[in-house]
Structure 1
Amino acid sequence: MRADIQVGATFPDYDLPDHTGVKRRLSFLQGRDPMILMLGRGVYCPKDRQQLMELVRFSAQCDVGFTRIVTITTDNLILSNDLRLGVGAHWPFLHDPERIIQQDLGIQEYTDPHNNPMIPYTFVLEPGLRIFKLYNGYWYWGRPSTAELHQDLRDITRRIRPDYQIDTPEMRAKWDRGEKEDFYPYGQSMRQVFIRMAGAVAQFDDPEAGER
């Protein structure tokens, strides 16, 4: 792994085609929310499928917890969709058959020259693609359990949501004064909140451009 990819650093804002063939930037998919980013081997790997099936079960909690999930593999468009549909995932799958990420991050799994995958990593990202935690999943037990992800996301949410504890006199006073900027959705439209909860990527607004 490249030396600068560590906790506290900003993960590169890669721009790759999704499962519909449309190029998407990671920052666009993340928006203003935490994100679980899974870099996988691909459709042939049973460890990836097992992790994805656990994430499918966990994803309902991510939806109501305002957390995004993205998976990236070195599969092509067809195989990426085979994997996504096969495990029942509803979040974006980006594909990188040219191995841009593998080469840029220095994570070639050199022990498998036949498939030439990435070493599977899972990143938990704060808003702004800031790395909160990373897990090396070369061995399956190196991958995060859903309990670990729950704890990571609790810690992130406590840090980034000013209304994490609304039962303080200060927060109640702000609400009573009509100062709603520190309360979810922090001035965003509920339309976009629900679009992101539904995973309707084609309708996402660019978080840097404001609502169109």
Structure 2
Amino acid sequence: MATSLRVNDQFPDVVLPDHQNEMIQLSHLTRPGLLDQYLGFQEGSPLILIFLRGFFCPRDQQQMRQMVEFQAELAVNYARVVTISADPPQVNAAFRVGLNARWPFLSDESRQLIKQINILDETEGEYAYRAQPYTFVLRPSLQIHTIYNGWFFVGRPTLEELRHDLRAIMEMRADYRYEAYADPAIRQIRIPQQEWEHGAPTPGANGLPVAQGTVRWFDVDTGVGMLARGDAGPDVFFHFTAIPGQGYRTIKPGAAVRFEIISGQHGLSARNIQPIE
């Protein structure tokens, strides 16, 4: 029984519980990050979607061990991976911890998705009604780029095959080429370091509006945050490059700041963020 899905079909945007029993929608895994949204790069991230028979299958275990080796590379390639099985969340959680995996493990205990895409295995005697081990590589829109039938292990994708799939998808992104970041509108938000080579000018010296406020939050991992304005205006997005200086700069939530405001096509952003003593 082969899946009813084909390359270029739209994969169902399902909502399933993860290993922590929290509901996850597939499209939420592929949507663009906050920085990309403000820069206008709306494509999002590719997704490797792996269906497993379960923790007990030695072939599944081997495939998952390979993916654990691959997960650090996926992170720097802005790609995501998720696994789906008929096991309950607590079983998936134990399997995930044992593997040292860091991606979501989703549960389709009712087999609703597995039946919908026609990959329910009804041939096994000991472990019946499990998903056939398919791997789908999805574009950020959840459109199918590649399908791998892993009934025999040799049919499952190698890491090199996944690299080729991801490269083909990433090459379609508007920001795949260096030149995309040379656009003046992009450089107002993702500010080149040489902008601050001679120190930071007085806020507003270049004619931009100036506001005061506090750092509402800052994510050290992604380098983005939000500023709360003291005049009760809308929050203002910022990238760490809006903080004058060299190297990777951080700022603490709650810090009082003064900053310039850029009004862009995708919202307000800050530059020349300076602490108020």
Query: Normalising to structure 1: TM-score of the pair?
Result: 0.79
Query: Which residue does the alignment assign to 2:53?
Result: 41
SS in 2 for 1:9: coil
Query: Which residue does the alignment assign to 1:200?
Result: none
Shift of 1:102: 1.7
Shift of 1:87: 1.1
Structure 1 residues without counterparts, runs of 5 or longer: 185-189, 196-209
Distance 1:135 1:193, change over 3 A: farther
Distance 1:69 1:117, change over 3 A: same
Percent identity, aligned pairs only, is 36
Correspondence list, 1:105-144, <5 A: 105-115=117-127, 116-144=129-157
Shift of 1:194: 2.7
Whichever residue aligns with residue 85 of structure 1, its letter is V
Q: Which of residues 158, 168, 177 is equivalent to 1:145? A: 158
Whether the 8 Å CA contact 2:20–2:90 is kept in 1: the answer is no
Q: Distance in 2 between matches of 1:44 and 1:34?
A: 28
Correspondence list, 1:58-137, <5 A: 58-115=70-127, 116-137=129-150
Distance 1:68 1:192, change over 3 A: farther
Q: Which of residues 170, 175, 185 is equivalent to 1:179? A: 185
Correspondence list, 1:182-193, <5 A: 191=219
SS in 2 for 1:94: strand
SS in 2 for 1:44: coil
Q: Distance in 1 between matches of 2:113 and 2:220?
A: 29
SS in 1 for 2:66: helix
Distance 1:192 1:93, change over 3 A: farther
SS in 1 for 2:171: helix
Whether the 8 Å CA contact 2:18–2:105 is kept in 1: the answer is yes
Query: Which residue does the alignment assign to 1:194?
Result: 222
Q: Distance in 1 between matches of 2:184 and 2:85?
A: 46
- How many positions carry a matched residue from both structures? 183
Deviations 1:16-70 (A, max 9, x none): 1000001111111222211111011111111111101100110101000000111
Whether the 8 Å CA contact 1:43–1:82 is kept in 2: the answer is no
Moved over 6 A (4+): none
Query: Which residue does the alignment assign to 2:168?
Result: 155
SS in 1 for 2:121: coil
Q: Distance in 1 between matches of 2:126 and 2:114?
A: 15
Query: Which residue does the alignment assign to 1:13?
Result: 13
SS in 1 for 2:83: strand
Whichever residue aligns with residue 107 of structure 2, its letter is H
Query: Normalising to structure 2: TM-score of the pair?
Result: 0.61
Whichever residue aligns with residue 222 of structure 2, its letter is F
Whether the 8 Å CA contact 1:122–1:143 is kept in 2: the answer is yes
Q: Distance in 2 between matches of 1:2 and 1:82?
A: 29
Q: In angstroms, what is the RMSD of aligned CA positions?
A: 2.5
SS in 1 for 2:222: helix
Structure 2 residues without counterparts, runs of 5 or longer: 32-43, 191-217, 224-265, 268-277
Whichever residue aligns with residue 167 of structure 2, its letter is R
Relative contact order, higher structure (CA 8 A, sep 6+): 1
